[in-house]
Amino acid sequence: MRHSLPIAPQFYVTAPQPCPYLKGRMERKLFTSLQGDDAERLSDSLSKQGFRRSQNVLYRPSCPECTACLSARIRIADFTPSKSQRRVLRRTRDIRREVSSPWATEEHYALFRDYLDARHINGGMADMDIFEFASMVEETPIRTRLIEYWLPGEDGTEAELLAVCLTDVLDDGLSMVYSFYATEHGRLSLGTYVILDHVEIAREAGLPHVYLGYWIPGSVKMDYKANFSALEVYRHGEWQEYRRSVDYRADTHPLATAPVAEQVSGLTLPDRRARR
């Protein structure tokens, strides 16, 4: 006799701390560990419900004062690059993509440090050493790839590493866990290019979505995600077509946050098939 039981992970919340995106707000996360034979199914299921992966943890914002952080993804079938994005693709046509297993190198770390020093010098990763960086890249219990972008050298010179993206392969898309790039090549718009290339990879693989992480109305750091067409955000328990930034202001109201117990009870978990 066969029957199905839900995978039942334990969920926890972090202590509130200052939000790095919205001034004066406090941040808290709902999280669960990701391990064992059910890791991929749990990751696939919770990613569709607004969760993100960091090493062997899945997390989702559960802030005490607002619900401004919205998981965002691009719907591949309806995506059309804008005029400026088509210009980016023309300027980057010589860049070469290489895909490998998630393995950190000193060259990766050097690019990562330069990126943080230029863009996120006061961010939460600013003090990350090479061993912590290697753990971020290599500790993954699911199918993950490291995608490198190289600019071929001229006249026999070595190719230059321009960008790197740590990418999870889900059953319904690619999840861009973390990306970093050479900021001195501003003309190439490498942040935009890496997303556009992930759209192409997903299309080639027959995957319907590219997950971009969280979009936050009112956060200048996150505005770039709203520039992509066919964008969806996970809001009020469902994926919705992105509208305008001003339409999401109510999500910063303190009464917008549901109790943690209600958030957990509302999650849909995959089934575990009991063995005979």
Is 47's pLDDT higher than 70? yes
Please state which of the ranges 35-39, 111-115, 143-147 shows the lowest mean pLDDT. Answer: 35-39
CA distance 235 to 263: 13
Burial 19-35 (b: 16+ CB within 10 A, else e): bebbeebebbbbbbbbe
Q: What's the whole-number mean pLDDT along residues 209-218?
A: 92
**pLDDT, average across residues 91-119:** 95
Structural contact between residues 140 and 102, judged by C-beta atoms closer than 8 angstroms: yes
pLDDT band of residue 276 (cuts 50, 70, 90) is: very low
What Cα–Cα distance (Å) separates residue 241 from each residue in 79, 161, 230, 247? 12, 35, 7, 12
pLDDT of residue 118 exceeding 60, the answer is yes
Mean pLDDT score, 11-21: 90
- What is the mean predicted confidence (pLDDT) over 119-145? 89
DSSP lists the bridge partners of residue 167 as: 145, 176
Domain that holds residue 197: 4-273
Mean pLDDT score, 22-36: 89
Say if residue 246's pLDDT is above 80.
Answer: no
Q: Say how far apart CA 129 and CA 194 lie, in whole Å.
A: 24
Per-residue pLDDT, 256: 65
pLDDT, tens digit, 9 for 90 and up, residues 133-151: 999 999 999 999 999 999 9
Per-residue pLDDT at 2: 47
The tokens describing 118, both together, are 């230029």
- pLDDT reading at 261 higher than 70: yes
pLDDT at 105: 97
Distance from C-alpha of 239 to C-alpha of 232, rounded to nearest angstrom: 6
User: What is the length of the chain?
Assistant: 276
Q: What is the band of 253 on the pLDDT scale with cuts at 50, 70, 90?
A: low
Q: Are 215 and 197 in contact (CB under 8 A)?
A: no
pLDDT of residue 230: 97
Least confident segment among 39-48, 56-65, 86-95, 178-187: 56-65
Whether residue 223 contacts residue 197, with contact meaning beta carbons closer than 8 Å, is answered with no
CATH number at residue 195: 3.40.630.30
Instruction: Retrieve residue 173's tokens.
Output: 């898309």
193 sits in the region (left: phi over 0; alpha: psi -120 to 50; else beta) called alpha
Q: How many domains does the chain have?
A: 1
- Residues 53, 47: Cα–Cα separation, whole Å: 8
Question: Does the pLDDT at position 5 exceed 60?
Answer: no
Q: Provide the token pair at 196.
A: 């556009």
